[in-house]
Chain A
């Protein structure tokens, strides 16, 4: 739309040229100036956009507690040895039971339930069906409420969650804090049991404290079928009670009908996991925060946990990072350049302190890349993602102790410190009067204590896409001129309708993109078991044949059609760029990280692409180089190719032949998690990529 507006302004000025000389307003003049010099500005803006992205780790600010009410660490911990021994006993009991008994029963759940009720909590069990996420195109953006319970469920496979609620002695019962410990009751290892120990210790304390203002729910999720599903199932039942008796309730010896209990709106949720042994000298705490579609919990929640873990309990806190970037030489060189510039600036003016050491820059970039990637993927990084669907702030804490799981002496200290961390966090959240709202929801992390807020990271994206409308406008003008020169038909008078032909083509290809996006649903409906590779082949063939049909049926759409029907390539490129611009801007609202990465790929491709035939004919080095660049960019831009490259980047081996299958699995995970990235790839990236291909092979 911005493009069209600018076009209009441009036209008005042109018609005014001969007759009336009305001086346009300064903003219009600026627009004309930018459009007139669009090649220069587009290069400058795109380069600035990439530079702004690279400079982000330098602009990261230290996190701070924004909400006054939280007051982390101001209260002394009240944990006693008695609590720890309670927790240790629970772990011991579970281990002993597991050693002596084998099988599918719910005895371990009952053991935990007994422990909870001994502490004075209300205990209940919840059965759930392991299969939840099914791709349905109509349910894409709808909430989890639309997920209906299957009627004819079998008792063959189901999970059982245990949950205990401690009521706040003087609270109003309207709010609650949730603790989740995923535990596989059948195959759970020794490390996993430690998370039960920590939470058991904490639960023993919380059952007797007088300062609770929110109820505490401890959910032991049956992680036999993954961490996410049991939590999601529990949340669904918590928020949308079903009044119909499901067959599932009668399975097994445990009758769970009419037992489900609730405790007010959730203020925050903490998922605790213990896994593996720490590689460092200290116990390691990893924080996972990304939920579906790049949604993040409020930064204050991460701040509180980070503050307490670092300053009170002495954990080594980390967030995910792309390890391969740490050793990349080009990033190191960039870091060194920034460091040198920072030092130079510091000598010029001692107040300029933006330089950071190269090592810090590398760490920051690797974490930032991981943060961007996780958000862009749109798949939650842990069970906390299920809470975000209900607007509950939640994070997953993964603790790695520095001792082997059977060390009794160290275990006591570990339980104490883990429970103290959780106690401090819960006490802070308990102090809250409202939902988390003071701090940021839109941010990228560059370390557990550094963040980049939305106001800063938007600049990189804005600079990248800023060149698109300019180039579109100038191309349109060029295209119109060329059309006027070449064809002298009376239809040429309708100047403002020139773009209609091109728009038809762009629209057709976007429609094609939409169909391709929906195809997997129908492929999944094909009876019989198919491997992911077969399915991807099916998808590929149907898509290509559809593409051929599109080219054949809509005249002027194909790059191989005769020149007479074909539209002017400049106008086509102009409309393509406009479509890409609109698509990217829309996506930046839904999931910024996807739009940012998408813009990095799509913007250079769209800007650089030109018909290859004239370039080959002219045999000039400049145009040959341009053609080569656009070929390379287009090759990289193909989604499957992109997937392969990103796999290589993240250090996972490429298995050549099964690439199609892996791609299918990857996409399946995207739609299963309702990631908007899937829609972006299908409805923005793929059509624009195809259009660029059309321009490349345009017969002009």
Chain B
């Protein structure tokens, strides 16, 4: 009997610690700008630039949580009303028509940020403001603002400390809210924010080491403020060369940071992250491109999906059809996974269950059973 229980426990532990073996199914991005006030224009521009990049590389709006602590576009001091630029050439308006800000202004607090990460929301919070990731999700967490030794300032009023972040990540891991998490931070002394992280599957990159400042890249003398930070500027410069199908590795991204240009040392922490960086494409985090598995049979359950697909394929946008294909591919993956994961004990139980199903006259079986039991009791009592 003990052996059976042991086997049972083993089975369960296998089933639950299977994060590594889960297949990457979807991508999420949480982009946070934590500082307000006009002179922090660049932080908002940083975040919006990254928003634009991940969107371009294939993460849809519903899987991006965008948190902006202030509204620079509509600030009275903005010489270009309702526009935000990250370059003084003003070629690219980051605040175009399809920007969906999920948390804005005073909603950007440490509390809300931690709620988003851990998924502990109040009931009234709409789905669009939640991070609905699962154990197959790759999450990009980008944060910018004013930081210091093991903290990041939110709104001039409160701060997120490194152990708050580590705790939130740990909770996420426990609740199987991600498969892999990449944290990218552009603040002063960004590296210190990762000190307390422990959870596996987390990759962290910061713009500067302890004691270093992160500097802005350049000043837009029309707007009158600095418009982008150096680290983000060179990150964007890297991604501008890429399209959705490129296979550039994370390693090539990390190697692209030149401390001389950055005026700080980009730091990345990989000890919690197992895959080899040279083999991981950047689109694992910054895009939403995944392996497509061709299957022979068409699933019946998908009949409605395919009809949807017809409508979608009429749309000119590549991204959407791509996305649907991915979803199509995801479901078989899940099936395969459950097939693989069946352990002998469950198999036995299922078999037993199936056999029981086959009995037609259950009542007689029960009556017979009771009679046998009475008989056994009588014999045993007579023996004693």
Residues of A within 8 A of B (CB): 68-69, 71, 74-76, 168-172, 209-213, 427, 430-431, 433
Contact = CB atoms under 8 A, between A and B. Distances in A.
Contacts of B75: 213
A74 B76 CA distance: 17
B76 A213 contact: yes
Contact of A74 (B37, B74, B225): B225
Contacts of A212: 76-77
Interface in B52-107: 74-81
B344 interface: no
Nearest to A173: B76
Given A171-B76, A212-B76, A76 B81 contact: no
Given A171-B76, A211-B78, A76 B221 contact: yes
Given A69-B39, A431-B39, A74 B224 contact: yes
Contact of A211 (B37, B219, B224): B224
A433 B36 CA distance: 11
Contacts of A172: 76
Nearest to B80: A210
A71 B77 CA distance: 13
11 contacts: A68-B39, A69-B37, A74-B219, A75-B221, A75-B222, A76-B221, A169-B76, A210-B81, A211-B224, A213-B77, A431-B224
Interface of B: 37-39, 74-81, 219, 221-226
A170 B39 contact: no
B79 A210 contact: yes
Given A211-B77, A213-B77, A75 B39 contact: no
Contacts of B38: 69, 431, 433
Nearest to B222: A76
Given A69-B38, A210-B81, A170 B224 contact: no
Contacts of A168: 76
B81 A71 contact: no
Given A211-B79, A213-B75, A431-B77, A71 B225 contact: yes
B80 to A, nearest CB: 8
Nearest to B40: A68
A214 to B, nearest CB: 8
Contacts of A211: 76-79, 224
Closest 6 pairs between A and B when the two form their complex, measured CB to CB: A75-B224, A213-B76, A76-B221, A170-B76, A171-B76, A211-B79
A362 B37 CA distance: 43
Given A74-B226, A211-B224, 9 more contacts: A68-B39, A71-B39, A71-B225, A75-B224, A76-B224, A169-B76, A211-B79, A427-B224, A431-B224
B223 A75 contact: yes
A112 to B, nearest CB: 27
A311 to B, nearest CB: 14
Nearest to B226: A74
Contacts of A169: 76
Nearest to B74: A170
Contacts of A170: 74, 76, 81
Contacts of A69: 37-39
A430 B225 contact: no
Residue of A168, A171, A433 contacting most chain B CB atoms (<10 Å): A433
A682 B185 CA distance: 64
A212 B75 CA distance: 10
Nearest to A69: B39
Contacts of A433: 37-38
Nearest to A171: B76
Contacts of A71: 39, 224-225
Nearest to A76: B221
Interface centre among B74, B77, B80, B224 (most CB of A within 10 A): B77
B336 to A, nearest CB: 55
A289 B83 CA distance: 39
Contacts of A68: 37, 39
Nearest to B78: A211
A620 B12 CA distance: 108
Contacts of B224: 71, 74-76, 211, 427, 431
Nearest to B75: A213
Contacts of B39: 68-69, 71, 431
Contacts of A213: 75-77
A69 B77 CA distance: 12
B197 to A, nearest CB: 30
A75 B76 CA distance: 15
Contacts of A76: 221-222, 224
Nearest to B79: A211
Nearest to A433: B37
Contacts of B79: 209-211
Contacts of A74: 219, 221, 224-226
A212 B81 CA distance: 12
A171 B76 CA distance: 5
A74 B222 CA distance: 9
Nearest to B219: A74
Q: Which of B38, B75, B76, B226 has the most CB of A within 10 A?
A: B76
Contacts of B81: 170, 210
A354 B226 CA distance: 36
A36 to B, nearest CB: 51
A168 B37 CA distance: 18
A598 B239 CA distance: 69
B42 to A, nearest CB: 12
Contacts of B37: 68-69, 433
B70 to A, nearest CB: 11
Nearest to B36: A433
Nearest to B223: A75
Nearest to A75: B224
A430 B75 CA distance: 12
Nearest to A432: B38
A156 to B, nearest CB: 46
A166 to B, nearest CB: 13
B208 to A, nearest CB: 19
Contacts of A431: 38-39, 77, 224
B248 to A, nearest CB: 35
A75 B79 CA distance: 11
A364 B78 CA distance: 41
A192 to B, nearest CB: 32
Contacts of A75: 221-224
Contacts of A427: 224
Contacts of B226: 74
A169 B221 CA distance: 21
A74 B41 CA distance: 13
B64 to A, nearest CB: 28
Contacts of B223: 75
A209 B39 CA distance: 19
A493 B76 CA distance: 77
A67 to B, nearest CB: 9
A76 B77 CA distance: 14
Contacts of B77: 211-213, 430-431
A60 B75 CA distance: 39
A71 to B, nearest CB: 6
A480 B219 CA distance: 74
A74 B88 CA distance: 13
A213 B224 CA distance: 14
A76 B219 CA distance: 10
A209 B77 CA distance: 10
Contacts of B80: 210
A249 to B, nearest CB: 35
A75 B78 CA distance: 12
B106 to A, nearest CB: 15
A308 to B, nearest CB: 13
A430 B39 CA distance: 12
Interface centre among A68, A168, A169, A171 (most CB of B within 10 A): A68
A365 B39 CA distance: 38
A79 to B, nearest CB: 14
A427 B38 CA distance: 12
A561 B220 CA distance: 81
A313 to B, nearest CB: 16
